[in-house]
Amino acid sequence: MTNDTPSTVRNLEESLAKVREALQELRYGQISLTVHDGRVVQIDVTEKKRF
């Protein structure tokens, strides 16, 4: 069952924009999302530096 209220769609779009931004800035590493009640509440970016 989906809940497509305007605020839900807005929150999803904001989350996707933040993930997209993190991906663009990341060269090597990982991105981890924490989701509570169907909402992204935390984005962890771990970047590795290669020498």
Digit-coded pLDDT (tens) for 7-21:
888 989 999 999 999
Q: What is the pTM of this model?
A: 0.75
* Contact in structure between 12 and 26 (CB atoms under 8 Å): no
Tally of structural domains, the chain: 1
* Contact in structure between 21 and 45 (CB atoms under 8 Å): no
Does 42 map to a domain?
A: yes
Q: What is the pLDDT of residue 15?
A: 93
Q: What is the pLDDT of residue 2?
A: 60
Q: What is the pLDDT of residue 49?
A: 87
Does 1 map to a domain?
A: no
**Domain extent at residue 37:** 6-47
pLDDT tens, residue order, the chain (51 aa): 466 788 888 989 999 999 999 999 999 999 999 999 989 999 999 999 888
Does 37 map to a domain?
A: yes
